[in-house]
Structure 1
Amino acid sequence: MKYIKYPIFFFLMAVMPAVAQQKLTLQEIWSGAFRTQGMHDLQAMKNTNQYTVLDSGKSGATIDLYDFATLDKVSTLVSSADHKELAKGIDSYTFSADEKKLLLATNSDPIFRHSFTADFYIFDIASKSLSKLSDKKVQEPTFSADNSKVAYALENNLYVYDIAAKTTKQITTDGKKNCIINGITDWVYEEEFSFVKAYDWNATGDKIAYIRFDETDVPEFSMDVYGNDLYQTQYVFKYPKAGEKNSVVSLHIYDLKTNTGSEVKLGNYSDFYIPRIQWTADARALSVQVINRHQNDLDLIFVDANTGLAKVVLNEKDKAYIDITDNLTFLKDNSFIWTSEKDGYNHIYHYSKMGKLISQVTKGPWEVTDYYGFDEKTGNIFYQSVENGSINRDVYRVSLNGKNKTRLTPQTGTNAATFSPNYQYFINSFSSATQPPAYTLNNAKDGRVVKEIKNNNALQAKLEKYSLPAKEFMEITTEKGHKLNAWMIKPKDFDPNKKYPVFMYQYSGPGSQQVNNEWHSTDDYWFMMLAQQGYIVACVDGRGTGFKGAAFKKVTYKELGKYEVEDQIDAAKVFGKYNYVDASRIGIFGWSYGGFMSSNCILKGNDVFKMAIAVAPVTNWRFYDSVYTERYMQTPQENASGYDDNSPINHVDKLKGPFLLVHGSADDNVHVQNTMRMVEALVQANKQFDWAIYPDKNHGIYGGKTRLQLYTKMTNFIKENL
């Protein structure tokens, strides 16, 4: 018996790890099986030392109130289960200034990347009463500062609803689809300046400033929508491509006391953008950012709302371009915090209310990546930066004079903070390439962890049975001497004596970052699945990407697709020299800008890359929008060679290896025109390639089983060609 038992025991012990180590599948990856738990729509209160979280459970959605100091749940402010009007859940919420009322969005319909319409309700927290804001779905409603009114946009016009009187006033009347927009951005502003609400209440709630967009002369773009009907329909919208006419913008102020509106004369500007408006701490003073079409000359203007007088208080110029941010913050004395790259790295500056520099708060060869706020009582600024390495993020505290800097997050990885209104505590979200997101309550004085709020230990335990390969971070040096951040995922059973194919992933767009120390994206699971199947997956952030200083980022100015492509080709050559890499089997993949890059790489680097996959790629910068493209390239009329020399469509004759093109037919961002024109160019060059068009899918190409089908297609293409 004993003689028989032990061999069986040892046999079982030998096979158990193999049985336990499950393989990732695309079905699991795209089923949401590895989704992390988080704190959805976390908002810090402003008047009490509390915070709220939107929780969507099986029994409905709730907005729950918690105490910062104890983390104890104080109450449920509203539950969708208690109101039939909220039967479809709560999509988002905002507080009134006194935090006694909520604006609740439900039944939302997306428009573009950020914009949507929804049914909005005003909820009175004390009485638990719910009233509908409008009979129609509206956009971007906002409480006035005195809590008495709500402004919103409907069909390109602005309205104001009086809560007590339950009456609505229309304050603009000329709004018209594809012609005039009041208080809501046009397509290109929404996409490239990242905001939708183009209006703002002043501090006393008696004035509204708004931007008016005249789209009349902006060229139209149309997309066929195939749907399920016998005949397809057509969606037509204004889209200014590079070098074409933009919306004519103007700034207006409406006075609710006098019921009159007026246009603000900003100055002698032509062909310009207004990327931000914001009332200052002074209810009479409006701040306006005006930037030229090249986006390298920016004025910060203060407007006297009573007289209409506009005065430039700050000007910034750059040899390349200026990035617009939301880091402008006004202090009680109307001095302001501003971030700028003017010393070569993004840093925090303090200016007087007249625009005179008081001090540069942060300094050094590293970037400030987020500004969290200023504590008036202690004089401390709180911010996030890459001081601990460009792939990491940490939270810091520093005095307004730049002294007494303290790192508040000791764990190396990606840290992000939500501060309590009194700046005594912050909720820190932390993750790294090896640790899923965890949320803790931290002391804002020294960063000490007070209590854990939420973790993803269950997910981490679940993943142990998959024995996933690790993401290894490194810095590579190309033959040209460029030092580039990179990561590599090797098979778990990696053998340095074997030769492996390499599948490279990148995005590479200006200021972007893919080599960062945080928890897995969905693509990371796909990359790990490929590693389990015998591939090495690698990613390199070449020149032009972010968080290593302005010079590194802006080297690609006027030549998008030149230096970034050189770096991907050179990085592939570096990998090809590794003893364990089969240099004849290196492929590359990318989406959007990354698709533009992978297309260029298989063409310009046809002796290095065996195959490529390009999803939703720009194939000619002449086809892309004005704001983004001209920021980095100027106009095609000014820089024809910059556009043409580095557009994949002009290099199709160089194609040698297998090439897969993928696009959604309803991509409002990178139009399917890019792929269609690329296809025709490849056909006329007599080149063989594969391609797939996803009907009625936008830039993200998702919905139903779309992602599963797409990633199955790409996986099969890799297996067949790499």
Structure 2
Amino acid sequence: MRYSWLALICIAQLSFAQKKQITLEDIWVKNTFRPKVVPGFNAMSDGKVYTQIDKEGDRQVLRVYDLKTGKQERTVFDNGEHTLEGKQLSLDDYSFSKDEKKILIRNEGQPVYRRSALYRSYVYDMSTGKVLQIDTAKVLHATFSPDGSKVAFVSANNLYYKDLKTGETVAVTTDGVVNKVINGNCDWVYEEEFEFTRAFDWSPDSRYLAFYRFDESQVPQYILPMYTGLYPYNYVYKYPKAGEPNSVVQIKVYDVKDARTVTANVGTETDQYIPRIKWTKDASKLCIFRLNRLQNNLDLLLADATSGNSSVIYNEQNPYYIDIDDNLAFLPDNRSLVLHSERSGYNHLYRWDWKSKRLTALTGGNYDVEQIVGIDEKRNLVFYTAAEKTPVERKLYSVNFEGKNRRTLTPEEGTHGITPIEGFNYFLDRHSTLTMPSVYTLRDNKGKVVRTLEDNAALKGKMWEYDLGNISLRQLEVGDNKTLNAWVITPPNFNDQKKYPVLMFQYSGPGSQEVGDRFPVRDFFWHQMLAEKGYIIVCADGTGTGFRGQEFKKKTYLQLGKYESDDQIAVATYLGTLPYVDKSRIGIWGWSYGGFMSSTCLFKGNDVFKMAIAVAPVSNWRYYDNIYTERYMRTPQENEKGYDENAPEKMADRLKGKFLLVHGTADDNVHFQNAVMLTDALIKANKEFDGEYYPNRHHGITGGNARFHLYKKMTDFVLTNL
């Protein structure tokens, strides 16, 4: 018996000793830790079945499956059988017409900006088996009309629709000109900061096309040199920096029946934003969001599709700014809507009846609602996700239209990402925790798990093969009795009697959240690789981050970078007091806003941080776009101190530690100019630093070998300097 126990111990020790070490090849070449998802999940209108793309050799087969059982029911499209002029049509993306008799197929995607891409687009008619090409060129935003008889799309800055019965293509607009007038598609800054790109919408009865017209002729242009061929060529586009002119935006409504266009009345002010349009339940009434340039006054306008006349049905003001998103839904009574607001100091849901002027709170308390998942009009229920118990969680809830009978539908701890299914009898739940990869389940509207679609058992097994450090959620007490949420990765075989270096990671942007009870945290496996090499990794969400109420989030107003960097310096100072931390070896890194922060922290906290890495950082908010920047800072003309006192460019002379500055030369978002200006300031201050630029790479620094090269560079920099 004694021998058996010893043998077991030896086997266990041998097993532990044989655990693998993570490599950069695992992360960026082999995709060793890629999780499984539920691909192409697309529930159909009966709420009982869904479609999924199955790959069979070089064929793609679109099939229908039963939601409850997962049993295959039928095939709706096989690109090995249905071709156009002998060409196989790949299913890069697809959508059904509302009656589910036609399929819109998109392929050969060509990215434009973050959310936009050109596609070759086709319609497959299931009743006839015929395939119709929408246009000979690649187009933007091909979209069925609700009755399935037409497809609207954008080409060369003009809006069109194709009549699927006659094959005729109708030009809704003809005045589109590159870098001057855009119809039906967003300009760069709207796409990036208001987070949408298709700037048109069919009315529910298919009679009207509401669309944006951007006149960007007065917006200053920006030039991105592209280093290809013998001579570089310049990519030129319109980019409004802080304090500079925006596009003048009009909302137009085209009557398909009468071939007539009216302009909606959005007021006489042109220096404003129209961040959303949305059709109401009345097919002749369009809701237009009107936001002032300071972004602290929002009007909802109700516009008549036939005349363009409008009236204000809702107004909200905020002492700081108003965040715009899609958390608004009209109810079938044609007089009320559900929206969210921070009027209480936290983000909550309300029902607004614009005829009786009655506001009903649907949720309340010291927590933030994340989003409206859906409105069940038959049961008078609103489904939503919120961080009710703790900022680091997300759960699904339901409440009725009077704010009563609230129910928790996903009681499990962690983060639940919810996709509603037509009819609201079922939901797809993507559930994870800090240490558990995503599990995809089908739940009914009472919260009961019907079946598991994917449990990522293979990834869990793969992770067990590697010598991973422990990751845990913490609450750090720093500064003046301030508590910050954090996650911490400690090295495998962590010994609190030893001294370890610390690498801090953060993003820190307004309303963001890096610390959550979800899997994976950002760059999880790279951070684990560094932990295997003896580093403690820490990420703390400081002042300005989200899901802790308005005052915590908006304290950074007019002073981006000040309180955020104070908090990160305070975290590093606190970590330096821990007996197992080597306070002389604390570093920090980040990307984009996080790069702005890591630069600022190294310069301001030059007696705390030994090194920093800044990837694609803003070096002065004067160089960034106006919608984002002015939301938090107002204009440079109004807030000169706020811009310059917290700019890394202005504090470069304080650099003491080791600094790595990284940027892509074709970054259309945070321009390479930021790195150039910071580099110039460092040179003027006679400061030594390291730099790496990536030719023709955008903000994400992807393509070819770029990511592997970047993370090798950062790994070597950490190992050498921390």
TM-score bucket (shorter structure): over 0.9
How far did 1:127 drift? 3.3
- The answer to whether the 8 A contact 1:211-1:249 is kept is yes
The residue that corresponds to 1:140 in the other structure is 141
> Hey, what's the Cα distance between the residues in 1 that align with 2:633 and 2:60?
46
How far did 1:411 drift? 1.6
> Hey, what's the Cα distance between the residues in 2 that align with 1:641 and 1:522?
33
Map of 1:282-297 to 2, 5 A cutoff?
Answer: 282-297=282-297
* Equivalent residue in structure 2 for 1:30, among 5, 28, 31: 28
DSSP-derived class of the 2:463 partner: helix
TM-score of the aligned structures, taking structure 1 as reference length: 0.97
TM-aligned CA distance change 1:354 to 1:248, over 3 Å? same
How far did 1:391 drift? 0.6
> Hey, what's the Cα distance between the residues in 2 that align with 1:364 and 1:139?
42
AA partner of residue 329 (structure 2): T
The residue that corresponds to 2:196 in the other structure is 195
The residue that corresponds to 2:220 in the other structure is 219
TM-aligned CA distance change 1:153 to 1:7, over 3 Å? closer
The residue that corresponds to 2:97 in the other structure is 96
How far did 1:432 drift? 1.2
Map of 1:61-72 to 2, 5 A cutoff?
Answer: 61-72=60-71
Map of 1:641-660 to 2, 5 A cutoff?
Answer: 641-660=641-660
DSSP-derived class of the 2:274 partner: strand
Alignment partner of 1:186 is 2:187: yes
Alignment partner of 1:418 is 2:416: no
How far did 1:83 drift? 3.4
- The answer to whether the 8 A contact 1:502-1:586 is kept is yes
- The answer to whether the 8 A contact 1:78-1:128 is kept is no
AA partner of residue 650 (structure 2): N
Cα shift readout 1:468-506 (whole Å, capped 9, x = no counterpart): 122110111112221111010001110000110000000
Larger deviation, residues 663-672 vs 344-353: 344-353
Map of 1:58-207 to 2, 5 A cutoff?
Answer: 58-85=57-84, 87=88, 89-207=90-208
DSSP-derived class of the 2:218 partner: coil
- The answer to whether the 8 A contact 1:349-1:357 is kept is no
How far did 1:712 drift? 0.6
Alignment partner of 1:691 is 2:691: yes
How far did 1:340 drift? 1.2
DSSP-derived class of the 2:165 partner: coil
TM-aligned CA distance change 1:458 to 1:695, over 3 Å? same
Cα shift readout 1:9-41 (whole Å, capped 9, x = no counterpart): 689637623442110001101121111111134
How far did 1:72 drift? 2.5
> Hey, what's the Cα distance between the residues in 2 that align with 1:355 and 1:178?
45
How far did 1:412 drift? 0.9
What stretches of structure 2 of length at least 5 have no aligned partner?
none
TM-aligned CA distance change 1:293 to 1:464, over 3 Å? same
Alignment partner of 1:535 is 2:558: no
AA partner of residue 166 (structure 2): A
- The answer to whether the 8 A contact 1:150-1:160 is kept is yes
> Hey, what's the Cα distance between the residues in 1 that align with 2:284 and 2:8?
82
AA partner of residue 622 (structure 1): R
Larger deviation, residues 353-362 vs 278-287: 353-362
- The answer to whether the 8 A contact 1:51-1:420 is kept is no
How far did 1:161 drift? 0.5
AA partner of residue 361 (structure 2): Q
> Hey, what's the Cα distance between the residues in 1 that align with 2:522 and 2:485?
21
AA partner of residue 144 (structure 1): S
The residue that corresponds to 1:318 in the other structure is 318
How far did 1:260 drift? 1.4
Larger deviation, residues 369-378 vs 640-649: 369-378
How far did 1:636 drift? 0.3
How far did 1:467 drift? 3.1
Cα shift readout 1:684-706 (whole Å, capped 9, x = no counterpart): 10000000000000000011211
> Identity percentage over the alignment?
46
> Hey, what's the Cα distance between the residues in 2 that align with 1:421 and 1:76?
20
Map of 1:304-315 to 2, 5 A cutoff?
Answer: 304-315=304-315
> Hey, what's the Cα distance between the residues in 2 that align with 1:114 and 1:458?
31
> Hey, what's the Cα distance between the residues in 2 that align with 1:249 and 1:667?
26
- The answer to whether the 8 A contact 1:297-1:317 is kept is yes
TM-aligned CA distance change 1:355 to 1:307, over 3 Å? farther
- The answer to whether the 8 A contact 2:158-2:171 is kept is yes
AA partner of residue 635 (structure 1): T
> Hey, what's the Cα distance between the residues in 1 that align with 2:290 and 2:182?
19
> Hey, what's the Cα distance between the residues in 1 that align with 2:262 and 2:219?
24
> Hey, what's the Cα distance between the residues in 2 that align with 1:588 and 1:215?
39
> Hey, what's the Cα distance between the residues in 1 that align with 2:679 and 2:152?
47
The residue that corresponds to 2:14 in the other structure is 16
How far did 1:521 drift? 4.9
Cα shift readout 1:125-175 (whole Å, capped 9, x = no counterpart): 333322111111100011112221111100000011100001001110100
How far did 1:73 drift? 2.7
How far did 1:8 drift? 11
> Hey, what's the Cα distance between the residues in 2 that align with 1:710 and 1:92?
30
Map of 1:597-616 to 2, 5 A cutoff?
Answer: 597-616=597-616
DSSP-derived class of the 2:159 partner: strand
DSSP-derived class of the 1:325 partner: coil
The residue that corresponds to 2:474 in the other structure is 474
Larger deviation, residues 395-404 vs 490-499: 395-404
The residue that corresponds to 1:491 in the other structure is 491
> Hey, what's the Cα distance between the residues in 1 that align with 2:717 and 2:523?
16
Larger deviation, residues 183-192 vs 36-45: 36-45
Larger deviation, residues 595-604 vs 702-711: 702-711
AA partner of residue 28 (structure 2): W
> Hey, what's the Cα distance between the residues in 2 that align with 1:205 and 1:602?
56
The residue that corresponds to 1:53 in the other structure is 52
AA partner of residue 560 (structure 1): L
What stretches of structure 1 of length at least 5 have no aligned partner?
none
How far did 1:626 drift? 0.6
The residue that corresponds to 2:346 in the other structure is 345
> Hey, what's the Cα distance between the residues in 2 that align with 1:672 and 1:338?
39
Larger deviation, residues 90-99 vs 660-669: 90-99
TM-aligned CA distance change 1:450 to 1:237, over 3 Å? same
TM-score of the aligned structures, taking structure 2 as reference length: 0.97
How far did 1:57 drift? 6.0
TM-aligned CA distance change 1:25 to 1:630, over 3 Å? same
> Hey, what's the Cα distance between the residues in 1 that align with 2:246 and 2:88?
41
Map of 1:340-419 to 2, 5 A cutoff?
Answer: 340-352=341-353, 354=355, 356-419=357-420
- The answer to whether the 8 A contact 2:515-2:521 is kept is no
TM-aligned CA distance change 1:297 to 1:14, over 3 Å? closer
> Hey, what's the Cα distance between the residues in 1 that align with 2:418 and 2:216?
39
AA partner of residue 53 (structure 1): Q
- The answer to whether the 8 A contact 1:29-1:522 is kept is no
- The answer to whether the 8 A contact 1:388-1:394 is kept is no
The residue that corresponds to 1:239 in the other structure is 239
TM-aligned CA distance change 1:342 to 1:8, over 3 Å? closer
DSSP-derived class of the 1:543 partner: coil
AA partner of residue 67 (structure 1): D
> Hey, what's the Cα distance between the residues in 1 that align with 2:431 and 2:696?
37
The residue that corresponds to 1:556 in the other structure is 556
The residue that corresponds to 1:591 in the other structure is 591
AA partner of residue 91 (structure 1): D
TM-aligned CA distance change 1:328 to 1:269, over 3 Å? same
> Hey, what's the Cα distance between the residues in 1 that align with 2:337 and 2:698?
40
TM-aligned CA distance change 1:637 to 1:358, over 3 Å? closer
TM-aligned CA distance change 1:187 to 1:347, over 3 Å? same
How far did 1:418 drift? 2.0
The residue that corresponds to 1:710 in the other structure is 710
The root-mean-square deviation of aligned C-alpha atoms, in Å, is 1.9
AA partner of residue 618 (structure 2): V
TM-aligned CA distance change 1:684 to 1:364, over 3 Å? same
The residue that corresponds to 2:270 in the other structure is 270
The residue that corresponds to 1:566 in the other structure is 566
> Hey, what's the Cα distance between the residues in 2 that align with 1:454 and 1:512?
28
